Amino acid sequence: MALGSKAEACELNAQVLEDFPVELSLEKTLERLKIDERRSRSLGVENIFKTGVSLVHPRAIYATGYVSKHSVDNTEIEDTGFSSRVLAKNLEHIERVFPYVLTIGDSLENTARSSESITAKLVLDAVGDLALGSALEHLQRHISRQYGLETTSHMGPGQLDWPITQQKELFSILGPVKDKIGVTLTESLMMAPRKSISGIIFPTEKTFISCQLCQRNKCPSRKAPFDKELSKKYAYDQAVDGDRTQQL
C-alpha cells in the first residue's frame, strides 16, 4: 500500500527510543522456566542469566496516529486500513493511537543459537521474552507520560482476529523501521530479530489484554485468564482466531 499524505505525516513524527532500562530478575526467570533454586544452582542458571541481561539492547520506534475511519470490523489509521473486529471495538471511541515496533536486538538470540547447551538456550530465551515484555511496559509508560494518559493497552497483528499479514501496513506508517531500529519483515511476515513485537498502543479506561479473549489455556505466554463475558461483549469468535504469532 502506497503511503498517503496522512501516513507520511505519521512517519515524520515517528520517535525512536534506544537502550532504555528493562526490569529483569533471576526469580522471574526461574519462575518462567519452572526451575527451583536448588536446580538452578546445579545448572549454573544465574551466570547464564547475567550473560543474557548484558545482551539485551532495547530499541523502539513509535508514532502518533489518528483514526480516520471506523466500522464494525475495520479501522483506518492515517488512511491505512486494519481488519479486526476486536481492534475496531477497542478503538471505537478513540481518536489518537500509537503504532509501534519494538525489539531487544539480535545479540541475545545469536548467542542462544550458537550455544551447544540446551540449558543456556532455554534460559536465554526466557530472558529475551521477559525483557521484551518489560521493554513494552516501559514504552507504554513513556507514551503515557508524554501524552498525559492514565491507562493504555496494546494489540498487534497476529493476535486474535488481526491477520499477521497486516504487519506490512503497520510498518508502512512508521517509515524506515529497518534503518531506525534494525527490524525487518521476513517473507512469512515474521519480524527479525525474532525478539521483536509490533502493534498499536491505545488509551483505555480499563486495561485490555488479548489473552482475555483466547481460550487456549495451556499457552505459556498467557497474561490473563479467559473472560467469557468480555468475549461476548466483543462478539469474538474463537474460530476466527489469528495466528497468535505475537504473544505479548
Domains of the chain with CATH codes: 5-207 (3.40.109.40)
Distance CA 137, CA 122 (A): 23
Is 0.85 surpassed by the pTM of this model?
A: yes
- Looking at residue 108, what is its pLDDT? 98
| CA-only gyration radius of the chain, Å | 18
> Out of 52-61, 67-76, 131-140, which region has the weakest mean confidence (pLDDT)?
67-76
Which set of grid coordinates corresponds to residue 109?
538470540
Provide the mean pLDDT of the chain: 90
- Looking at residue 217, what is its pLDDT? 75
The candidate with the shortest Cα–Cα distance to 200, out of 117, 140, 247, 141, is: 140
Q: Work out the pLDDT band at 193, boundaries 50, 70, 90.
A: very high
Instruction: Calculate the alpha carbon distances from 2 to 75, 79, 131, 177 in Å.
Output: 17, 10, 34, 16
Distance CA 104, CA 109 (A): 9
Which set of grid coordinates corresponds to residue 102?
519494538
Mean pLDDT of 54-66: 97
Regarding predicted confidence, which is higher, 248 or 185? 185
Check if the beta carbon of residue 217 is closer than 8 Å to that of residue 205. Answer: no
| Count of helices and strands (H, E) across the chain | 10, 10
Q: Is the pLDDT of residue 59 over 50?
A: yes
Q: Is the pLDDT of residue 243 over 50?
A: no
> Out of 61-65, 70-74, 102-106, 190-194, which region has the weakest mean confidence (pLDDT)?
70-74
Percent of the chain with pLDDT over 90: 74
CA dihedral 184, 60, 63, 241 (to 10 degrees): 60
DSSP one-letter code for 69? E
Residue corresponding to grid cell 463475558:
229
Which set of grid coordinates corresponds to residue 239?
474460530
Q: Work out the pLDDT band at 1, boundaries 50, 70, 90.
A: very low
Q: Work out the pLDDT band at 245, boundaries 50, 70, 90.
A: low
Which set of grid coordinates corresponds to residue 213?
479473549
Distance CA 199, CA 174 (A): 11
Q: Is the pLDDT of residue 3 over 70?
A: no
Instruction: Calculate the alpha carbon distances from 85 to 57, 75, 152, 233, 241 in Å.
Output: 34, 9, 19, 11, 11
Nearest-5° angle of CA 9, CA 195, CA 88?
A: 50
- Looking at residue 238, what is its pLDDT? 58
Distance CA 73, CA 84 (A): 5
Q: Is the pLDDT of residue 162 over 50?
A: yes
Q: Work out the pLDDT band at 242, boundaries 50, 70, 90.
A: very low
Structure confidence by residue, pLDDT tens digits, 130-160:
999 999 999 999 999 999 999 999 999 999 9
Percent of the chain with pLDDT over 70: 90
Structure confidence by residue, pLDDT tens digits, 24-56:
999 999 999 999 999 999 999 999 999 999 999
Check if the beta carbon of residue 4 is closer than 8 Å to that of residue 106. Answer: no
Residue corresponding to grid cell 491505512:
80
Distance CA 160, CA 66 (A): 22
The candidate with the shortest Cα–Cα distance to 169, out of 237, 234, 101, is: 101
- Looking at residue 10, what is its pLDDT? 64
- Looking at residue 11, what is its pLDDT? 67
Q: Which residues partner with 75 through β-bridges?
A: 70, 82
